Chains A and B, each alone.
Chain A
Amino acid sequence: MGSIAEPWGISESENANYGTPKGLSRELRHGKTAHNMSSSSLRKKSDLRLIQKVPCKSLQNVLSNLQEVILGTKLAVLFLAIPLAVIADYYHYGRPLIFGLSLTGLTPLAERVSFLTEQLAFYTGPTVGGLLNATCGNATELIIAILALANNKVAVVKYSLLGSILSNLLLVLGSSLFCGGIANIRREQRFDRKQADVNFFLLLMGLLCHLLPLLLKYAATGEASASLINKMSLSLSRTSSIVMLIAYIAYLIFQLWTHRQLFEAQEDDEDNAYNDEVTVEETPVIGFWSGFAWLAGMTLVIALLSEYVVATIEDASDSWGLSVSFISIILLPIVGNAAEHAGAIIFAFKNKLDISLGVALGSATQISLFVVPLSVIVAWTMGIKMDLNFNILETSCLALGIIITAFTLQDGTSHYMKGLVLMLCYVIIAACFFVDQIPQPKGTGLGMQPKNSVGGGFVSA
Chain B
Amino acid sequence: MAGIVQEQWSAAENGNATMTTKGSSRELRHGGRTAHSMSSSSLRKKSDLRVIQKVPYKGLKDFLSNLQEVILGTKLAILFPAIPAAIIGTYCGFSQPWIFGLSLLGLTPLAERVSFLTEQLAFYTGPTLGGLLNATCGNATELIIAILALTNHKVAVVKYSLLGSILSNLLLVLGTSLFCGGIANLRREQRFDRKQADVNFFLLLMGLLCHLLPMLFGYVGNGETSADLIADMSLNLSRASSIVMLISYIAYLVFQLWTHRQLFDAQDQEDEFDDNVEEETAVIGFWSGFVWLVGMTLVIALLSEYVVATIEEASESWGLSVSFISIILLPIVGNAAEHAGAIIFAFKNKLDISLGVALGSATQIGLFVVPLTIIVAWILGINMDLNFNLLETGSLALSIIITAFTLQDGTSHYMKGLVLLLCYIIIAICFFVDKLPQKQPNAIHLGHQLMNNVAAAVGEGVFSS
Partner of A437, one of B208, B229, B401: B229
* A397 on the B face (CB < 8 A): yes
- CB neighbours (8 Å) of B404 from chain A are 407
Max count, chain B CB within 10 A of own CB: residue among A321, A404, A437: A437
The interface stretch among B147-155, B243-251, B434-442 is: B243-251
Q: Is the CB of B465 within 8 A of A439?
A: no
**Nearest CB in chain A to that of B408: its residue:** A410
* A424 on the B face (CB < 8 A): yes
Interface of chain A residues 337 through 368 with chain B (CB within 8 A): none
The CA-CA distance from A1 to B230 in the complex, in Å, is 59
Q: Is the CB of A429 within 8 A of B465?
A: no
Q: Is the CB of B194 within 8 A of A438?
A: no
* A246 on the B face (CB < 8 A): no
Partner of B225, one of A392, A396, A411, A439: A439
Given A397-B213, A417-B251, A404:B220 Cβ within 8 A: no
Max count, chain B CB within 10 A of own CB: residue among A404, A432, A439: A432
Given A438-B225, A438-B230, A396:B213 Cβ within 8 A: yes
> How many whole Å from B244's CB to the nearest CB in chain A?
5
Interface of chain A residues 400 through 426 with chain B (CB within 8 A): 400, 403-404, 407-408, 410-411, 413, 415-418, 420-422, 424-425
* A80 on the B face (CB < 8 A): no
Q: Is the CB of A396 within 8 A of B212?
A: yes
What count of chain A residues pass the 8 Å CB interface test?
36
Partner of B220, one of A392, A400, A410, A418: A392
* B210 on the A face (CB < 8 A): yes
Q: Is the CB of A417 within 8 A of B244?
A: no
* B294 on the A face (CB < 8 A): no
Q: Is the CB of A404 within 8 A of B248?
A: no
- CB neighbours (8 Å) of A410 from chain B are 198, 408
* A300 on the B face (CB < 8 A): no
Chain B interface secondary structure, helix, strand, loop or mixed? helix
* A391 on the B face (CB < 8 A): yes
Given A403-B401, A436-B233, A417:B194 Cβ within 8 A: no
* B160 on the A face (CB < 8 A): no
Q: Is the CB of B248 within 8 A of A400?
A: no
- CB neighbours (8 Å) of B259 from chain A are 185, 416
> How many whole Å from A412's CB to the nearest CB in chain B?
11
* A4 on the B face (CB < 8 A): no
Given A411-B195, A421-B202, A439-B224, A429:B209 Cβ within 8 A: yes
* B345 on the A face (CB < 8 A): no
* B52 on the A face (CB < 8 A): no
Q: Is the CB of B465 within 8 A of A435?
A: no
Produce 1/0 per residue, B241-273, CB < 8 A to A. Answer: 100100110011001000110000000000000
The CA-CA distance from A411 to B201 in the complex, in Å, is 13
Partner of B237, one of A403, A431, A442: A431
- CB neighbours (8 Å) of A96 from chain B are none
* B14 on the A face (CB < 8 A): no
Q: Is the CB of B244 within 8 A of A427?
A: yes
Interface of chain B residues 204 through 241 with chain A (CB within 8 A): 205-206, 208-210, 212-213, 216-217, 219-222, 224-225, 229-230, 233, 236-237, 240-241
* B199 on the A face (CB < 8 A): yes
Interface of chain B residues 115 through 142 with chain A (CB within 8 A): none
The CA-CA distance from A422 to B241 in the complex, in Å, is 14
> How many whole Å from A181's CB to the nearest CB in chain B?
9
Q: Is the CB of B212 within 8 A of A391?
A: no
Partner of A438, one of B220, B237, B247: B220
Partner of A321, one of B202, B217, B465: B465
Q: Is the CB of A435 within 8 A of B248?
A: no
- CB neighbours (8 Å) of A397 from chain B are 209, 213
* B203 on the A face (CB < 8 A): yes
The CA-CA distance from A436 to B217 in the complex, in Å, is 8
Q: Is the CB of B462 within 8 A of A435?
A: yes
Given A429-B213, A435-B240, A442:B220 Cβ within 8 A: yes
Q: Is the CB of A437 within 8 A of B233?
A: yes
The CA-CA distance from A3 to B428 in the complex, in Å, is 68
Given A403-B205, A404-B205, A417:B255 Cβ within 8 A: yes
- CB neighbours (8 Å) of A416 from chain B are 255, 259
The CA-CA distance from A436 to B216 in the complex, in Å, is 11
Given A420-B248, A435-B462, A428:B260 Cβ within 8 A: no
* A441 on the B face (CB < 8 A): yes
- CB neighbours (8 Å) of B202 from chain A are 404, 407-408, 417-418, 421-422
> How many whole Å from A189's CB to the nearest CB in chain B?
12
**Nearest CB in chain A to that of B194: its residue:** A411
Interface of chain A residues 117 through 174 with chain B (CB within 8 A): none
* A249 on the B face (CB < 8 A): no
The CA-CA distance from A185 to B401 in the complex, in Å, is 29
Max count, chain B CB within 10 A of own CB: residue among A391, A424, A429, A436: A424
> How many whole Å from B59's CB to the nearest CB in chain A?
50
Given A424-B244, A428-B244, A431-B241, A438:B229 Cβ within 8 A: yes
The CA-CA distance from A185 to B206 in the complex, in Å, is 23
> How many whole Å from B454's CB to the nearest CB in chain A?
15
Partner of B213, one of A418, A432, A438: A432
Q: Is the CB of B208 within 8 A of A400?
A: yes
- CB neighbours (8 Å) of A391 from chain B are 220
> How many whole Å from B405's CB to the nearest CB in chain A?
9
> How many whole Å from B208's CB to the nearest CB in chain A?
7
> How many whole Å from B2's CB to the nearest CB in chain A?
42
Given A404-B202, A407-B404, A424-B244, A393:B221 Cβ within 8 A: no
Produce 1/0 per residue, A426-461, CB < 8 A to B. Answer: 011101100111110110000000000000000000
The CA-CA distance from A429 to B209 in the complex, in Å, is 8
> How many whole Å from B363's CB to the nearest CB in chain A?
11
> How many whole Å from B390's CB to the nearest CB in chain A?
12
Q: Is the CB of B209 within 8 A of A428?
A: yes
**Nearest CB in chain A to that of B195: its residue:** A411
- CB neighbours (8 Å) of A417 from chain B are 199, 202, 251-252, 255, 260
Interface of chain B residues 419 through 465 with chain A (CB within 8 A): 462, 465
Q: List A residues at the B interface (Cβ < 8 Å).
A: 185, 321, 391-393, 396-397, 400, 403-404, 407-408, 410-411, 413, 415-418, 420-422, 424-425, 427-429, 431-432, 435-439, 441-442
Chain A to chain B: the 10 pairs with minimum beta-carbon distance, closest first: A321-B465, A421-B202, A431-B240, A432-B213, A435-B236, A393-B216, A404-B205, A417-B255, A435-B233, A435-B237
12 pairs, A vs B, C-beta closer than 8 Å: A391-B220, A403-B401, A404-B206, A411-B194, A411-B198, A418-B202, A421-B206, A425-B209, A431-B241, A432-B213, A438-B217, A438-B230
| 11 new A-B contacts at CB < 8 Å, known A393-B217, A435-B233, A437-B462 | A400-B212, A407-B205, A408-B198, A410-B198, A413-B195, A418-B202, A420-B248, A425-B209, A428-B206, A432-B213, A436-B217
